[in-house]
Amino acid sequence: MIARAAAGVAAGVVTLGTAELLAGVLNPAVSPVRVLGDAVIDHAPQGLREWAIETFGTADKGVLVVAMLVVAVLVSALAGVLGRAGAVLLAMLGVVVAGFAVAAAGAFAAVPTVAGVAAGIWVLLRAIDGSRADGVAGESRRGGVEPAGDAEAVGGRVREPAGRAVTGGVSGGRLSEDREAAGADRRWVLRGLALATGAGIAAGLAGRALAALRTDVSGERAGVTLPPPREPLPDTPFGADLRTPGITPYLTPNADFYRIDTALTVPQVSIEDWSLRIHGMVQREITLRWADLAARPAIERLTTLTCVSNPVGGDLVGSARWLGYRLDALLAEAGPLPGADMVLSRSVDGWTAGSPLAALTDGRDALLAIGMNGEPLPVAHGYPARLVVPGLYGYVSATKWVTELEVTRFDRATAYWTKLGWAAEGPIKTGTRIDTPAASARLKPGRMSVAGVAWAQHRGIVAVEVQVDDGPWEQARLAADVSVDTWRQWVYEWNATPGPHTLRARSTDGTGEVQTAEVAAAVPDGASGYPAVFVRVG
Ligand SMILES: Nc1nc2c(c(=O)[nH]1)N[C@H]1C(S)=C(S)[C@@H](COP(=O)(O)O)O[C@H]1N2
Ligand SMILES: [Mo]
């Protein structure tokens, strides 16, 4: 049973290793792990995805790959136990994965999967035949028909010291001999399986390394020179950062910026291949290549990005200094036609976001961004170009690796997440977060700073209030107001008295509206409610 399962696992590893190696050589986009992972991401039930994002946050893709490998090992072991039926199972799974690959990248894309499955099945059948040969040999020995090799071995044994022959006798020697020979065969089979497994793992790793080498654009990115913005901005405008210990910095460093997307492997788009096509309901379709951008004026803006999946008090929000080109100007070059009310932006990997045309043309600083905090966009954040639109959640606006803007209508087009049950429009809800003290902290009595950030992009924050237990709402002190499009730090000096306490916070946006207390989950248009932090003093 264990030997059979091991044979199955070896076959599975050889399947994946061969396929990954071939994909690395032929076309990294069609690796079965990637194709299947993308299929899982695109077809997973809504609840499962949310659970994954909430539980694993930005590590969700690593967890998915590990989960897929664990399932692959279990299925392979099962195939091994099933024997020849297992080979049929592997073949059927191969057909499914090859189908996804073909759907994604054409008939040729099936090659790595088909070759991998063929190699895996060969290993499985060899292992089955190997152990069956054992069984047959054992039978025949007991039946008295000597295979030539065995006869020789017995002959050799006969010349052993007499003592042994006396204690065991010839027939006793024969029996243990049979077992030893069978054991040796078995060891050979197991050794072969271990070898196949090792080779499969090595091939898989080599394939992945090759794929990374062939597609990686980080070297190119390091050599990109960004155009100078018309009015460069400081990283942190005067007074924007209160520098209260424990508070989130006003500007989020690129390395700490949250990452959310459906891309299992980060798309690698070279500026040589990149272009942006603006089409659909426009007077004239235009296509901009990287070099075309240089002729246009670049601007720099501080904008706070927020994910619709951010739970109350969560950290799927960050602020950066974005360098790019005004989307209203680029859209005007194509000339949107009357009746259009949506821009469906599409990334190189087919992901889409639907933004109100009005939000991109009403004068706000909606950008085709190419720089983030003074560097070219990090590859995971959309290199070489993405959208950044103040006031809209990322899922309806912030398309990374963007290659297309289709001017259309909300009643004609449906974007990626909207098809999956999220709202078609996603203006950012007013949010407040308590950064310090930390949840469940044990504190000393006396004065301390309760502090955090508040955001209501494109409306701005005009007030933040803090409530201790069931007390009155007290005004917090606000950091300098930089723009309506970025978050604002706040601090409240609290005289902490001994005992358990709950701290709450809420904000008022630039329209005078107080943040809603109504508790809502992220689906369909963003979480709401007041953040609460429980602490123990004394
Ligand atoms: N191509 C692509 N762009 C995308 C997404 C995606 O899945 N694919 N996710 C969006 C979502 S939901 C958010 S919140 C932001 C996050 O941007 P970041 O990863 O740079 O923080 O990117 C948006 N852009
Ligand atoms: Mo998001």
Lowest mean pLDDT among 94-103, 254-263, 303-312, 370-379: 94-103
Indicate the pTM of the whole model. 0.81
Q: Which ligand is nearest to the CA of 387?
A: 1
Residue nearest atom 1 of ligand 1, based on CA coordinates:
400
For residue 518, tell me if it sits in a domain.
yes
For residue 232, tell me if it sits in a domain.
no
Ligand 1 center to residue 459 CA distance, Å? 22
Q: Is the dihedral of CA 205, 207, 210, 216 positive or negative?
A: negative
Whether residues 509 and 411 fall in one domain: no
The mean per-residue pLDDT over the stretch 196-224 comes to: 93
Query: Above 60 in pLDDT, residue 137?
Result: no
Q: Which ligand is nearest to the CA of 525?
A: 2
For residue 182, tell me if it sits in a domain.
yes
With a 6 Å cutoff on the Cβ, whether 260 touches ligand 1 is: yes
Query: Above 50 in pLDDT, residue 146?
Result: no
Residue nearest atom 18 of ligand 1, based on CA coordinates:
259
Query: Above 50 in pLDDT, residue 330?
Result: yes
Q: Kindly report the backbone phi and psi dihedral angles of residue 97, in degrees, each rounded to the nearest multiple of 5, phi listed first.
A: -65, -40
With a 6 Å cutoff on the Cβ, whether 262 touches ligand 1 is: yes
For residue 426, tell me if it sits in a domain.
no
Whether residues 435 and 358 fall in one domain: no
Whether residues 323 and 469 fall in one domain: no
Whether residues 202 and 127 fall in one domain: yes
Ligand 2 center to residue 387 CA distance, Å? 13
With a 6 Å cutoff on the Cβ, whether 257 touches ligand 1 is: yes
Ligand 2 center to residue 447 CA distance, Å? 37
* pLDDT value for 142: 37
Ligand 2 center to residue 414 CA distance, Å? 16
With a 6 Å cutoff on the Cβ, whether 400 touches ligand 1 is: yes
Domain harbouring 261, CATH code? 3.90.420.10
Q: In this predicted model, which residue has the larger pLDDT, 103 or 475?
A: 475
* Percent of the chain clearing pLDDT 90 (strictly above): 72
Confidence of residue 178 (pLDDT cuts 50, 70, 90): low
Ligand 2 center to residue 153 CA distance, Å? 71
With a 6 Å cutoff on the Cβ, whether 29 touches ligand 1 is: no
Structural domains of the chain, count:
3
Whether residues 114 and 181 fall in one domain: yes
Instruction: Find out whether 359 and 391 touch, Cβ atoms under 8 Å.
Output: yes
Ligand 2 center to residue 536 CA distance, Å? 34
Best probe residue, ligand 1, of 61, 64, 261 (max atoms within 8 Å of C-beta): 261
Choose among 495, 470, 322: nearest CA to 397: 322
Choose among 512, 459, 449: nearest CA to 483: 459
Q: Which ligand is nearest to the CA of 377?
A: 1
Tell me the pLDDT tens digit for each residue of 28-42: 888 888 888 888 888
Tell me the pLDDT tens digit for each residue of 253-306: 999 999 999 888 899 999 999 999 999 999 999 999 999 999 999 999 999 999
With a 6 Å cutoff on the Cβ, whether 258 touches ligand 1 is: yes
Q: Which ligand is nearest to the CA of 259?
A: 1
Query: Above 60 in pLDDT, residue 106?
Result: yes
Domain harbouring 495, CATH code? 2.60.40.650
- Measure the CA–CA gap between 507 and 462, rounded to whole angstroms: 8
Q: Which ligand is nearest to the CA of 305?
A: 1
Q: Could you tell me the residue range of the domain that residue 482 belongs to? A: 431-537
Q: Give the three-state DSSP class for 537.
A: strand
Find all residues with CB under 8 Å of 121, minimum gap 6, and list them: 11, 15, 87, 90, 91
For residue 230, tell me if it sits in a domain.
no
Residue nearest atom 8 of ligand 1, based on CA coordinates:
261
Domain's final residue, options 193, 215, 237: 215
Residue 73, number of CB atoms within 10 A of its CB: 16
Annotate 340-364 with b (16+ C-beta within 10 A) or e (fewer).
bbbbbbbbbbebbbbbbbebbbeeb
Whether residues 82 and 208 fall in one domain: yes
For residue 246, tell me if it sits in a domain.
no
Residue nearest atom 4 of ligand 1, based on CA coordinates:
399
Domain's final residue, options 194, 215, 236: 215
532-537/442-443 β-pairing? parallel
With a 6 Å cutoff on the Cβ, whether 113 touches ligand 1 is: no
Whether residues 387 and 410 fall in one domain: yes
With a 6 Å cutoff on the Cβ, whether 347 touches ligand 1 is: yes
Domain's final residue, options 188, 215, 242: 215
Residue nearest atom 16 of ligand 1, based on CA coordinates:
260
DSSP notation for 69-119: HHHHHHHHHHHHHHTHHHHHHHHHHHHHHHHHHHHHH-GGGGHHHHHHHHH
Q: Give the three-state DSSP class for 15.
A: helix
Average pLDDT, the chain: 89
With a 6 Å cutoff on the Cβ, whether 34 touches ligand 1 is: no
Residue located via tokens 């190189």: 348
Confidence of residue 152 (pLDDT cuts 50, 70, 90): very low
Ligand 1 center to residue 399 CA distance, Å? 6
With a 6 Å cutoff on the Cβ, whether 418 touches ligand 1 is: no
For residue 331, tell me if it sits in a domain.
yes
For residue 344, tell me if it sits in a domain.
yes
* pLDDT value for 176: 65
Whether residues 412 and 435 fall in one domain: no
With a 6 Å cutoff on the Cβ, whether 38 touches ligand 1 is: no
Best probe residue, ligand 1, of 60, 259, 260 (max atoms within 8 Å of C-beta): 260
Whether residues 454 and 414 fall in one domain: no
Index of the ligand 1 atom closest to the CA of residue 417: 12
Whether residues 351 and 293 fall in one domain: yes
Confidence of residue 165 (pLDDT cuts 50, 70, 90): very low
Query: Above 90 in pLDDT, residue 136?
Result: no
Confidence of residue 327 (pLDDT cuts 50, 70, 90): very high
Whether residues 45 and 189 fall in one domain: yes
Whether residues 416 and 437 fall in one domain: no
